[in-house]
Copies of this chain bind each other. A is one copy, B any other.
Amino acid sequence: FVEGSDRPSMHQAMAATLEHCVLENRKTQQEARSNGKAFRPRWPMIILRSPKGWTAPRQVDGHYLEGFWRAHQVPLEIGDNEHHLRIVEEWMHRYGPEKLFDEAGRFIPELKALAPKGTRRMSANPIANGGLVRKPLDMPDFRDAAVDVKKPGATLAGNVPTLGDFLREVMRQNMHNFRVFGPDETQSNQLQALYEVGKKVWLGEYFPEDADGGNLCPDGRVMEMLSEHTVEGWLEGYILSGRHGLINSYEPFIHVVDSMYNQHAKWLEKCNELHWRAPISSLNLLITALVWRQDHNGFTHQDPGFLDVIANKSPAVARIYLPPDANTLLSVADHCLRSVNYVNVIVADKKVHLQYLGMDAAIAHCKKGLGIWDWAGNDRGVEPDVVMASCGDVPTMESLAATALLREHLPDVKTRFVNVVDLFKLVPNTEHSHGLTDREFEAIFTPDKPVVFNFHSYPWLIHRLTYRRPGQHNIHVRGYKEQGNINTPLELAIRNQTDRFSLAIDAIDRMPRFRVTGAAAREALLNQQIACQQYAYQFGIDRPEEANWEWPY
């Protein structure tokens, strides 16, 4: 920075530099298109180092202003200080306003004519209002990827791999405006079906071994870098300019983008107030490699708290889904990919899990957002003793197993089984457009029965969503309580009281009818729980009867 430097010539230099770079880019594009070979050009980069407070008077009251930290905020008090007002006046006169405006104070026509017109105006560039150039995805039928479920809780399948099959077809039908982003875990996260139609973008050096499952390609459709904030930024740019995408991330590390999510959500919230802003594709986040299945990674990889960050933002923008199995995951993903102006968070573990709902049942369940699974309860037409509720894939399995244990040990018990897919159904309808009315809420959770709620994330999030509900004091939530280590799945659940035994004991303790007579069942469950812990400690894996558990009815 040079004091009094010649500004018009700086403007010319900037224009010339821009022109040079645009021509360089065009040359590169022509070269690639004419010889049909992908290569990695040295794209031009402009480094513009400008003085702070450019432009302002260089000195005021003996202190430097332009080019110095004192130019921050409001450095001249022209409202109260006559001397400062004069400084600004003199300084602005250096721009020669008498040459720029006519006697009536109008901008002179030849300068006015320089301004670009129509979509050449920076603010009217359609790329900067991406919804204008956005085309809806050409969607395949998600039902084609369905898992066949003959009997609930008896078939195993990978939820995320099934989603991968569907996303592969989405990609196949939208090879120019759909990408999947992630921190180098597309395969680890079981979305490798995508590579069948779009590999990882890679313009660097290739080695012979890359042919053996490297899945690299110069014009791929999957964008990977082990940097959550970089891939989140790529996806934001991609959807802001009118395209579609999804990011997949390990659950514990998605907190890296908390701050980026906050700003994107605020931006979307404000867009809703601006009639000229065309809707853009939703920001879709698939959160996988979940807290409950970190048997080899341990405590550092156990953090389901991203949902708390999401839920703080405007209900006009935030959406959270926890599909319990593959078909519900497909239905949720289809909905999210079609939506606009939301942030959709989908929580689904990458490992193999029990399947509960056939496709039609899954669609109905997701449409309702939460619902009673009548095949799992036995309260049809009668008052239940207890409501067993769950949200999330692993917690749902443990809740079902607890329900089965209750029915086994207390044949007389009446249970209702509720599963929640759409988390914001729990919030009153006055607070979130997805929320149930209190009447709907009571119809599901009862006005006065104990609810033993097994939740994927930190348990207090459920209380924070339901504190206004009548009967909220009957809701007893279990979830991750920051208790963990390199544990087997069942050990980890037991440490956090989200396991089948703890849930069944919880239910017994809270059903007045069984508080005394349930003692034998309670004791038997405790004994089983201890036996499971002993086995896991000794062998490093869970007992086969719990690890291979199926819904017994």
Binding site for B on A (CB under 8 A): 63-64, 67-70, 72-73, 188, 209, 212-214, 252-253, 255-256, 258-259, 262-263, 266, 269-270, 296, 299-300, 303, 305, 308-309, 312-314, 458, 460-461, 463-465, 467, 472-473, 482
Min C-beta distance of A241 to chain B, whole Å: 21
Chain B, residue nearest A267 (CB):
B300
A263 cross-chain contacts in B, Cβ below 8 A: 300
Chain B, residue nearest A214 (CB):
B69
Q: Is the CB of B212 within 8 A of A64?
A: yes
What is the interface of chain A mostly: helix, strand, loop, or mixed? helix
Known A270-B299, A309-B255; judge A314-B262 contact (CB<8 A). Answer: no
A252 cross-chain contacts in B, Cβ below 8 A: 262
Q: Is the CB of A482 within 8 A of B269?
A: yes
Known A258-B258, A263-B300, A305-B262; judge A209-B312 contact (CB<8 A). Answer: no
* Cα of A188 to Cα of B74 in the assembled complex, Å: 13
Q: Is the CB of A309 within 8 A of B299?
A: no
A259 cross-chain contacts in B, Cβ below 8 A: 253, 255-256, 258
A253 cross-chain contacts in B, Cβ below 8 A: 259
Min C-beta distance of A182 to chain B, whole Å: 14
Select one of B188, B296, B313 contacting A482, CB under 8 A. Answer: B313
5 A-B contact pairs sorted by A residue (CB < 8 Å) = A70-B212, A256-B258, A305-B308, A467-B467, A472-B473
Q: Is the CB of B467 within 8 A of A266?
A: no
Q: Is the CB of B212 within 8 A of A63?
A: yes
Q: Is the CB of A458 within 8 A of B312?
A: yes
* Cα of A460 to Cα of B432 in the assembled complex, Å: 14
Q: Is the CB of B482 within 8 A of A472?
A: no
* Cα of A72 to Cα of B305 in the assembled complex, Å: 27
Q: A70-B212, A266-B299 are in contact. List 6 more A-B contacts (CB 8 A).
A: A305-B308, A308-B312, A312-B458, A313-B482, A463-B464, A467-B467
Q: Is the CB of B68 within 8 A of A303?
A: no
A73 cross-chain contacts in B, Cβ below 8 A: 296
Q: Is the CB of A461 within 8 A of B464?
A: yes
A308 cross-chain contacts in B, Cβ below 8 A: 305, 308-309, 312
Chain B, residue nearest A472 (CB):
B467
Q: Is the CB of B262 within 8 A of A255?
A: yes
Known A70-B213, A266-B299; judge A312-B482 contact (CB<8 A). Answer: yes
Select one of B314, B460, B482 contacting A464, CB under 8 A. Answer: B460
A482 cross-chain contacts in B, Cβ below 8 A: 266, 269, 312-314
Chain B, residue nearest A255 (CB):
B259
* Cα of A262 to Cα of B254 in the assembled complex, Å: 12
A188 cross-chain contacts in B, Cβ below 8 A: 72
A296 cross-chain contacts in B, Cβ below 8 A: 73
Closest 9 CB pairs between A and B? A255-B259, A463-B467, A464-B464, A64-B209, A460-B464, A258-B258, A305-B312, A255-B258, A256-B259
A69 cross-chain contacts in B, Cβ below 8 A: 213-214
Q: Is the CB of B68 within 8 A of A209?
A: yes
Chain B, residue nearest A314 (CB):
B482
Q: Is the CB of A303 within 8 A of B262?
A: yes
Chain B, residue nearest A457 (CB):
B312
A314 cross-chain contacts in B, Cβ below 8 A: 482
* Cα of A314 to Cα of B70 in the assembled complex, Å: 43
